[in-house]
Amino acid sequence: MRRNNSHSMVSRIRQLLQQIQPWHKTKNNEYRLIYELIEEQVEKTPNAIAVELKGSYLTYRELNSRSNQLAWKIRKMGVQPNDIVCIMVKRSLQMFVALLGVLKAGAAFLPVDPDFPEERIVYMVEDSNAKVIISDAEMEYRFLSFKDKVICVDEPDIYDHDTSNLNKVAKASDLAYVIYTSGSTGKPKGVMIEHKSVVNLLYGISDRIPLSEHNVILALTTISFDIFILETLIPLALGLRVAIADENDQKNPKSLCNLIMKSSADILQITPSRLQMLINHNKNLECLKNLKVVMIGGEPLSEVLLEQVKGYTNARIFNMYGPTETTVWSTVADLTQRNSVDIGMPIRNTQIYIINENSKPVTGGAEGELCIGGDGLSRGYLNRPELTAQKFITDLSAFHEKIYRTGDLARWLENGNIECLGRIDNQVKIRGYRIELEEIENCILKFGAVKQAVVTAIDGKESIKYLCAYFVSDDEISVSDLREHLVKSLPNYMLPAYFIRIDSIPQTLNGKIDRKALPPPGLISEQSNQKNHQNAETLKSEDIELKIKEMIRDTVDGITAIEQIDVNNQLTEVGINSITYIKIVVLIEGQFNFEFGEAELNNGRFSIIKELIDYVESMIKN
């Protein structure tokens, strides 16, 4: 194998770096546990604010005491290391008490997004064999069938328990959490992450990114997405203040901007989709100005977005790359001084291999599948030995360690960084969420009359992808019935914006589905965003309806003509999701010159389009 000089030098440096004894292990080469590091921080800064939400907060001491009390209660329910405790609470200070409480009890947490449909939640609780479910007063009713397992974090009697730290029962090789990601077989799969991987992430990130007790980080990500760990456990182990974004801040770019300013957050972790939305829908981006660090990751970052964000902030900008299976982030690139995007180099105790079809490392800068080894590696998929064997290569003769096949196409650059070139399978990211298209297809196929189904992700307006479902059926199918069927088991972000019935699924010459030959859902119309300077108060009801329909047409992927919109349609039926809803709100506010109320900013507020139109009319005419 011939390599040019720069490539061999880089490999040598990599080799040397890997020989350095990791300094965060104990003398017996055991990792500490993340909550032990947080307990040490509690000793150092007991009175500093650990978490805050809209004016209420918990200091490090208070958070520690409360989570100890909860942990005692969890232990009393007989929970052992490697047992799973499901957490489903609304975004609150208690969410942090729950996370820490489970770890201190010695168990592993399974975070569940309350927005998930009932069927998915029940599946996760049953598949994981969760021993305990931590819920709150608002969510408790959703677990009636698991009544005996539920602890409600709002119950006052929990806080009669002892506030002192518990004796340690879990080891670094025990599970810290399980996160479910979309599964190609039609059901989500649980990725098992051990304590040592979380602590490795802590040091791997703090090696490369300046994070200290003086910083304030936003907890913005939904609980079921693994990057949430970087906004919760990691900052707490480093003494930062964590400002929680609530459900409204997550959905509404204006509230998010206000929160960044109000909380004085200076560290932000964000997906490119959310960052794009923040930039597109705020006239004033003062909120980005005082940031010190922006970690962008979870999906490909474009050079255009990188350039755009630099125009608003002098913060250091990092591109973060990693799959859930290797613990949040595996590589980091500092792009502050750069115009081109790559995913940088691996964090400590992490090895990257780029392999060819024969599972051999590629030479030079050839393209291949990106594989990851090291201390961040997951134990595998819960209850899925076959899938685990397929995705994790354990042939030690080839790589001297177990490695995870990411399904990402990548290549080494001459400077030793890695460039990510897209996917080699049907996994896509929609608004930062990881989706296996086969999971949606399998779900569509369960709808009786459908014979075949294919789902594709299409580049839509403002570079945001949307899903389009194609199906074959003998008889006409009601799209609302089909959608209703999907809503029962798929989260919102997995619902296709468009359903198209076709005669047959096109195939390539070798018999595979020819996704490129699928008919596009229609040419997306030109943005007709020009302002109509007509006086809003004098507008007739029909004009208001027409304007709103135009805005929907211009915002929702797959809608090309206003005739496709029936005012009696549900918002979700025409493909309006939480992100497109906010875009429509911003357009309406700009056009009619009024601000939506707090409650109306929530897309769940209006079920059918007519209700939204009536609300706008009432606001204009008042």
- Residue from 116, 180, 203, 321 touching ligand AMP (CB under 6 A): that is 321
Residue of 298, 374, 460, 496 that binds ligand AMP (CB under 6 A): 298
By CB under 6 A, which span of 20-28, 297-305, 509-517, 588-596 interacts with ligand AMP?
A: 297-305
Tell the smallest beta-carbon distance from residue 225 to ligand AMP (Å): 7
Closer to ligand AMP by Cβ: residue 343 or 497? 343
Comparing CB distances to ligand AMP, the nearer of 85 and 320 is: 320
Sequence-distant (6+) residues with CB within 8 A of 248 are 255, 598, 601, 602
> At its nearest, how many Å lie between ligand AMP and the CB of residue 352?
12
Of the pair 239, 298, the CB lying nearest ligand AMP is at 298
Among 299, 484, 514, 614, the residue binding ligand AMP under the rule CB under 6 A is 299
> Rounded to the nearest whole angstrom, what is the least distance from the CB of residue 156 to ligand AMP in the complex?
37
Contact at 8 Å (CB) between 268 and 242? no
What does the alpha-carbon distance between residue 520 and residue 507 come to, in Å, rounded to a whole number?
Answer: 16
- 240 is written with which tokens? 């930062």
Q: How far is the CB of 297 from ligand AMP (least distance, A)?
A: 4
> Judged by CB under 6 A, which stretch of 291-299, 409-417, 503-511, 586-594 contacts ligand AMP?
291-299
SS (H, E, C) 572-589: HHHCCCHHHHHHHHHHHH
> φ and ψ at 355, to 5 degrees?
-120, 155
Q: Which helix (H) or strand (E) holds 392?
A: strand 392-393
> Applying CB under 6 A, which of residues 320, 410, 486, 556 lies at the interface with ligand AMP?
320
Of 302 and 534, CB closest to ligand AMP: 302
Whose structure tokens read 């945001």? 464
Least distance between ligand AMP and beta carbon 121 (Å)? 19
Nearer to ligand AMP, 9 or 304 (CB): 304
Size of the site for ligand AMP (CB under 6 A): 19
Torsion 451-457-460-462 (CA) sign: positive
For residue 41, give Cα distances in angstroms to 142, 159, 239: 35, 22, 6
Q: Which is nearer to ligand AMP, 68 or 221 (CB)?
A: 221
Is residue 300 close enough to count as binding ligand AMP by CB under 6 A? yes
Radius of gyration of the chain (CA): 25
- 121 contact partners, CB below 8 Å, separation of at least 6: 88, 112, 142
How far apart are alpha carbons 170 and 259 in whole angstroms? 37
- Which positions from 338 to 377 touch ligand AMP by CB under 6 A, shown as an x/- string? -----x----------------------------------
**408 residue type, one letter:** D
C-alpha separations of 443 from 121, 430, 470 in Å = 16, 18, 13
Range 380-439, binding ligand AMP (CB under 6 A): 406, 408, 420, 423, 429, 434
Residues from 194 through 253 that contact ligand AMP (CB under 6 A): 226
> b or e along 130-140 (b: 16 or more beta carbons within 10 Å of the residue's beta carbon)?
bbbbbbbeebb
Beta partners for 177?
A: 109, 193
Distance of alpha carbon 246 from alpha carbon 242, whole angstroms: 13
Contact 616, 605 (CB under 8 A): no
Does residue 450 contact residue 429 with C-beta atoms inside 8 Å?
A: no
Least distance in Å: CB of 226 to ligand AMP? 6
- CB of residue 371 vs ligand AMP: minimum separation in angstroms? 11
Closer to ligand AMP by CB, 343 or 455: give it: 343
User: Least Å distance between CB 329 and ligand AMP?
Assistant: 8
Residues 434-463 that bind ligand AMP (CB under 6 A): 434
Residue range at the interface with ligand AMP (CB under 6 A); choices 316-324, 438-446, 465-473, 613-621: 316-324
Closest CB to ligand AMP among residues 220, 320 = 320
To ligand AMP, the closest distance from the beta carbon of 341 in angstroms equals 8
Query: Applying CB under 6 A, which of residues 204, 323, 374, 521 lies at the interface with ligand AMP?
Result: 323
The whole-angstrom separation of Cα 276 and Cα 462 is 8
What are the two backbone dihedrals, phi and then psi, of residue 411, each rounded to the nearest 5 degrees? -150, 155
CB of 400 to ligand AMP, least distance (A): 23
Hey, how many other C-beta atoms are within 10 angstroms of the C-beta on 43?
11
Instruction: Locate all alpha helices (DSSP H) within 179-328, ordered by sequence.
Output: 195-208, 233-238, 247-251, 253-263, 272-280, 286-289, 303-310
CB of 497 to ligand AMP, least distance (A): 20
Of 65, 67, 135, 181, the one binding ligand AMP (CB under 6 A) is: 181
Please identify, among the stretches 48-56, 211-219, 317-325, 383-391, the one whose residues bind ligand AMP according to the rule CB under 6 A: 317-325
Nearest approach in angstroms of CB 223 to ligand AMP is: 14
**Residue 441: closest CA among 482, 387, 386, 383:** 482
Q: Under the rule (CB under 6 A), what is the footprint of ligand AMP?
A: 181, 226, 297-301, 319-321, 323-324, 343, 406, 408, 420, 423, 429, 434
